[in-house]
């Protein structure tokens, strides 16, 4: 009797697993679009005493990313996506951001939930960064993480959305790429907002 019960449980578990796998679909996902990031560009100049001649000294600026400036970026993503039913999507891949002369990419995982024509997307990226600044390649590793949440309205092949992201925990990243541009943002865990229009490519 016990053996029969064990076999029955195993058969039911196997049937449940097969039913779950039948509802899962795997696909490639390629996104390309334009994003406008609300970054911060306050410039603080160190105070200088009146009696000191500073004509031969360079002025040092500290961009702490705390006002508000729109930075347009080419935004792309290449992912392997697992669809669970019609509404839940899990993905793993690479995110790419480009400002013509500077391009950076990093690994990303995400969860996306579809509700009617809206999609709620939650991402976590970072850990490794690679790209080009001009003609010079760079590779960075460390504890930099980029959590992100966004809300999208979907059209047939494209989507429009708004979102927020932050750069967290970069104690081991001291590369010149981050200095002066986002160092204070990372330290203070400030949030950057963005709007984006993305096309889904085949």
What pLDDT is recorded for position 196?
94
* CA-wise closest residue to 82 among 54, 112, 53: 112
- 41 assigned to some structural domain: yes
CA 30 to chain centre: 15
- Between CA 28 and CA 87, with CA 124 as vertex, the angle to 5 degrees is 50
The pTM of this model reads: 0.67
CATH number, domain containing residue 125? 2.40.160.20
- 155 assigned to some structural domain: yes
- 76 assigned to some structural domain: yes
- 6 assigned to some structural domain: no
DSSP state of 46: -
- 107 assigned to some structural domain: yes
- Count of domains for the chain: 1
Give the pair of three-digit tokens for residue 126. Answer: 């970072």
Domain range enclosing 72: 25-201
- C-alpha 79/C-alpha 47 separation (Å) is 49
- C-alpha 90/C-alpha 108 separation (Å) is 11
pLDDT tens, N- to C-terminus, the chain (202 residues): 555 455 555 554 555 544 444 557 889 999 999 999 876 544 343 444 444 444 444 433 344 444 567 788 999 999 999 999 889 999 999 999 998 789 999 999 999 999 999 999 999 999 889 999 988 999 988 778 889 999 999 998 899 999 998 877 655 444 444 554 444 544 455 678 899 999 998 6
- 2 assigned to some structural domain: no
What pLDDT is recorded for position 191?
76
- 78 assigned to some structural domain: yes
- 69 assigned to some structural domain: yes
């Amino acid at each position: 009797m016990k053996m029969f019960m064990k076999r029955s449980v195993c058969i039911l578990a196997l049937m449940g697993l097969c039913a779950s796998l039948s509802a899962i679909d795997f696909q490639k996902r390629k996104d390309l679009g334009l994003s406008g990031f609300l970054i911060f560009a306050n410039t603080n100049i160190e105070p200088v005493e009146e009696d000191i001649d500073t004509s031969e000294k360079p002025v040092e600026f500290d961009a702490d990313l705390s006002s508000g400036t729109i930075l347009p970026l080419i935004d792309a993503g290449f992912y392997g996506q697992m669809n669970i039913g019609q509404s839940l999507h899990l993905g793993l891949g690479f995110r790419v951001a480009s400002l013509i002369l500077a391009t950076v990419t990093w690994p990303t995982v995400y969860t996306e939930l579809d509700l009617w024509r809206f999609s709620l997307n939650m991402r976590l990226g970072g850990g490794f960064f690679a790209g080009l600044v001009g003609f010079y390649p760079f590779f960075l590793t460390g504890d930099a993480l980029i959590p992100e949440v966004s809300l999208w309205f979907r059209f047939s092949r494209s989507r429009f959305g708004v979102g927020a992201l932050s750069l967290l925990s970069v104690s081991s990243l001291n590369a010149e790429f981050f200095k002066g541009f986002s160092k204070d943002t990372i330290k203070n865990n400030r949030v950057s907002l963005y709007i984006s229009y993305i096309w889904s490519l085949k």
